[in-house]
Amino acid sequence: MDAYVSFGGYVEHWLVEVAPVRYKPTAMAEYSSLLRLHIVPCFGETPLCEISVADVQRFLAHQVGKGFAPRSVLNQLVVLRSVLRSAVTVGLLESNPAAKAAPPRQQRREQCFLRPSELSAILSATPDAWKCLLALPIYSAGRKGEILALRWPEVSFERRQIAFVRSMRAGVEYTVKTPASRASVVMAEALVPLLQARRERCFDPEHGYVFCRSDGRPLDDGAPGRQLRNACIRAGIEPCTFHQLRHSAIAAVIAQGAHPLVVSRFARHASVETTLDVYGHLLSPLDGGGEAIDLSDVIGGS
């Protein structure tokens, strides 16, 4: 492959020999779609060595001008950077022009948190068969993929712990988001009877998924959101996302005066800096001690 290969030609090589080694299938599908729909139509016939920083900047401005949200344009830039970075690695480029392009400015939106009383109302409005599914992010700050991938060997009633060790998307299991995410969390008191009841309903209560269909197969990705939406409507609360339950649980821990390090461990963030970046406006670094907080009384007593 010579230095004058076109961008489109290199993308074909990248999708077959580079991307499958580096990215998960879901990321591969997303990257392939962005390349096909947006990036290759612009740079496809251009020789790699002729793509400049100005060309990339012009592409970004064009996408913004077409009405794409800044986040969407940033996603396209991430893919373009990855492809050109690979070309640098194999010696087809001296530097990555996309790495020097200025990304579109994004207006940061503050997280929306539900109050403990609203979380309690959602759980009260959830049918018993699904109550545990919505209670897990509320009491353990679990992410949707982690909860869908949870199996019974990771649930210990004796130690009162839940271990999040994998995630799931579209029925495929992956490693969790970061090494820090692979951790055990305290099983809140309110979760004990819910998990025990769930275990009695499960297809395989020894080795199977905690949340599954009647034949043991994992739930589809949309099931948690559908149950949450229905519960919100019944509770008279504006529907929210499943991930907002996690954010709200973390906010509830902060409201109890927990130290930032305790909050970071509860959230299983990669670092306390991540916690401060997302929740810093809620935190008081001088408050709280080092003990973990059980939200059972906070949510259940609302």
pLDDT at 1: 53
The CATH code that applies to domain 7-100 is: 1.10.150.130
Closest C-alpha to 6, from 34, 56, 42: 42
Phi-psi region of 5 (alpha: psi -120 to 50; beta: other; left: phi over 0): beta
For the chain (length 302 residues), average pLDDT per consecutive 10? 79 94 85 94 94 96 92 94 95 94 76 89 96 96 95 96 91 80 91 95 93 93 95 95 94 89 90 84 59 73 62
pLDDT at 301: 65
Closest C-alpha to 69, from 103, 27, 33: 103
CA distances from 253 to 138, 271, 291 (A): 11, 17, 11
Alpha-carbon torsion (241, 245, 248, 250), positive or negative = negative
Closest C-alpha to 77, from 38, 36, 134, 49: 38
pLDDT at 152: 96
pLDDT at 273: 86
Domain locations along the chain:
7-100, 116-300
Amino acid 290 reads: G
pLDDT at 108: 60
d(CA 211, CA 213): 7
pLDDT at 235: 96
Residue recorded with tokens 């920083």? 53
pLDDT at 292: 62
Q: Which two tokens stand for residue 68?
A: 């794409």
Helices 128-140, 223-235: axis angle to 10 degrees equals: 100
User: 10 Å Cβ neighbour count for 103?
Assistant: 13
CA distances from 296 to 137, 170, 204, 217 (A): 13, 31, 27, 30
For strand 172-175 and strand 166-169, is the pairing parallel, antiparallel, or unpaired?
antiparallel
The domain made up of 116-300 is a member of CATH 1.10.443.10: yes
Radius of gyration of the chain (CA): 23
Alpha helices, H only, the chain: 7-13, 19-22, 25-34, 40-43, 53-65, 70-89, 116-124, 128-140, 144-148, 191-201, 223-235, 242-255, 260-267, 272-279, 296-300
Structure letter (DSSP) for residue 218: B
CB 135 within 8 A of CB 122: no
CB 63 within 8 A of CB 38: yes
Instruction: Reduce the DSSP state of residue 169 to 3 states and report it.
Output: strand
